[in-house]
């Protein structure tokens, strides 16, 4: 029988009891970052010694470029606030698809020594739910870790599917009233709004959506409010997505499984949003092997993948990882979802991005990529900018170039044509 976890008040927490120099510490991502624990790690790291912290999508401001030298950072991409660490040369990137992370931790390819996560007690008090984020890799890492610490707060929503497996030993519970990381809607500019209008024209009623986070995804979701019978099967569900539910556009009625339920891996929004969704039966948390798994996605008719990019070249290759020599993106789930859409009956994948950056001085429709190929040209379906839609699936290279030039910013079209 598993021993009951010890309850430790934040003021009495000495992390040297659980963390050793040289450890790999996996920190739950997004809103589930246990900020009471991660800030304690910042304060105590000089007494512990050098460690490596594995980060996912980072939304809190705990770890920045000025973090103590004893903290080394590793991640599957420069996503969210990780980009600042990457630009400062403080981030080591593990190139892998998001769907591969649970297996990497389960197999020991990545070996966690310590896991830190936010959690909430189930209503009956029997166990815990990881609440706002259930990506699968934190649970896999916890199963093989030497120490597992949970920051438990009533602010964490209890969503079905996010329960911590019964065989995982929890060493300590740190009670706190600290709120989850709040994520507000990003402001969309004129280019994002025009892109959203183009994308909305590609999305059919009854489609099942996958979305990201940021100004452009929020703008696209807002543009879909007049659609009907939409579904959600995505790594992320935001407050803007809940607005689609309120508008009657998103009801998951056409999904062949998880019918009536949005299947997601992470929930991100305001404090009020987390309070509202506590116990909401219209949401179900599933790990990355399900949210991003191609065999699952292939079962969803009209699965519609909506992703962004740093740049797209004239063959249709996509770079969603590196800009200006810094790793500010990642493989993430882009290729998982693009190929899932290709396998879905009636599915479509969309890469959406503004046509320029740096004050219209650089074209994001590029002659050649300045970074790695995240999604190969053979996988790309539709590319959308504020200037229109380039459908590339089954289109030869010469015609692709013409279509991509046509959606580039007008000031770059002649140069790209030459």
pLDDT for position 105: 96
Q: Note whether residue 183 is domain-resident.
A: no
Query: In whole angstroms, what is the distance from residue 162 CA to residue 95 CA?
Result: 26
Do 49 and 160 lie in a common domain? yes
Query: Considering the entire predicted model, what is its pTM?
Result: 0.95
Query: In whole angstroms, what is the distance from residue 29 CA to residue 278 CA?
Result: 19
Q: What CATH number is given to the structural domain containing 267?
A: 3.40.1080.20
CA angle 299, 290, 59 (to 5 degrees): 130
Do 261 and 347 lie in a common domain? yes
- pLDDT < 70 positions in the chain: 1-2
pLDDT for position 79: 86
Could you tell me the CA-to-CA distances from 29 to 172, 259, 267 in Å, in that order?
19, 27, 11
Do 265 and 367 lie in a common domain? yes
* Range(s) of the domain holding residue 401: 190-417
Tens digits of residue pLDDT in 18-61:
999 999 999 999 999 999 999 999 999 999 999 999 999 999 99
Do 152 and 80 lie in a common domain? yes
Do 397 and 284 lie in a common domain? yes
Q: What CATH number is given to the structural domain containing 28?
A: 3.40.1080.10
Q: Note whether residue 35 is domain-resident.
A: yes
Which string of b and e fits 176-208 if b means at least 16 CB within 10 Å? bebebbbbebeebeebbbbbbebbbebbeebbb
Tens digits of residue pLDDT in 256-267:
999 999 999 999
Do 201 and 166 lie in a common domain? no
Contact 50, 70 (CB under 8 A): yes
Q: Note whether residue 309 is domain-resident.
A: yes
pLDDT for position 253: 98
Do 100 and 241 lie in a common domain? no
Q: Note whether residue 359 is domain-resident.
A: yes
Q: Note whether residue 180 is domain-resident.
A: no
For residue 186, what are its two tokens?
Answer: 């990003």
Treating both helix axes as pointing N-terminal to C-terminal, what angle do 239-246 and 215-223 enclose, rounded to 10 degrees? 0
Query: In whole angstroms, what is the distance from residue 405 CA to residue 170 CA?
Result: 55
| Burial (CB count <10 Å: 0-12, 13-18, 19+), residue 124 | exposed
pLDDT for position 122: 85
Tens digits of residue pLDDT in 389-401:
999 999 999 999 9
| Burial (CB count <10 Å: 0-12, 13-18, 19+), residue 21 | exposed
Do 124 and 194 lie in a common domain? no
Q: Is the dihedral of CA 324, 337, 215, 354 positive or negative?
A: positive
Q: Note whether residue 181 is domain-resident.
A: no
pLDDT for position 212: 83
pLDDT for position 1: 54
Domain count, the chain: 2
Do 95 and 125 lie in a common domain? yes
201 phi and psi angles, rounded to 5 deg: -70, -15
């Amino acid at each position: 029988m598993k021993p009951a976890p010890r309850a430790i008040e934040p003021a009495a927490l000495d992390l040297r009891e659980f963390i050793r120099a040289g450890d790999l510490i996996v920190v739950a991502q997004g809103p589930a970052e246990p900020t009471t624990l991660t800030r304690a790690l910042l304060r105590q790291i000089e007494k512990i010694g050098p460690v490596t912290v594995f980060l996912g999508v980072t939304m809190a401001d705990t770890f920045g470029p000025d973090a103590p030298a004893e903290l080394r950072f590793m991640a599957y991409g420069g996503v969210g606030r990780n980009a600042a660490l990457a630009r400062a040369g403080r981030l080591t990137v593990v190139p892998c698809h998001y769907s591969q992370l649970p297996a990497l931790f389960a197999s020991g390819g990545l070996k966690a020594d310590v896991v830190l996560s936010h959690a909430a007690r189930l209503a009956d008090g029997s166990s815990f739910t990881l609440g706002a984020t259930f990506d699968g890799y934190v649970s896999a890492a916890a199963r093989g870790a030497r120490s597992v610490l949970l920051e438990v707060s009533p602010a964490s929503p209890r969503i079905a599917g996010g329960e911590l497996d019964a065989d995982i030993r929890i060493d300590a519970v740190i009670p706190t009233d600290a709120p989850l990381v709040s994520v507000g809607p990003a402001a969309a500019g004129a280019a994002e709004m025009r892109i959203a209008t183009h994308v909305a024209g590609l999305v059919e009623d009854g489609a099942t959506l996958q979305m990201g986070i940021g100004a452009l995804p929020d703008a696209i979701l807002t543009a879909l409010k007049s659609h009907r019978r939409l579904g959600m099967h995505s790594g992320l569900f935001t407050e803007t997505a809940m607005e689609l539910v309120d508008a009657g556009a998103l009801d998951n009625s056409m999904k062949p499984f998880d019918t009536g339920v949005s299947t997601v891996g992470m929930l991100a929004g305001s404090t009020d949003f987390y309070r509202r969704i506590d116990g909401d039966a219209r949401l179900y948390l599933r790990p990355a092997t399900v949210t991003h798994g191609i065999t699952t996605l292939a079962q969803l008719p009209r699965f519609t993948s909506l992703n962004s990019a740093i740049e797209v070249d004239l063959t249709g290759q996509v770079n969603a990882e590196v800009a200006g020599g810094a790793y500010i993106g990642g493989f993430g789930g882009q290729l998982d979802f693009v190929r899932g859409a290709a396998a879905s009956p009636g599915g479509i994948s969309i890469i959406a991005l503004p046509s320029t950056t740096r004050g219209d001085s650089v074209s994001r429709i590029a002659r050649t990529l300045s970074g790695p190929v995240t999604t190969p040209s053979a996988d790309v379906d539709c590319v959308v900018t504020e200037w229109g839609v380039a459908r590339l699936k089954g289109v030869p290279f010469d015609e692709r170039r013409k279509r991509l030039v046509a959606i580039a910013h007008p000031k770059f079209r002649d140069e790209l044509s030459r």
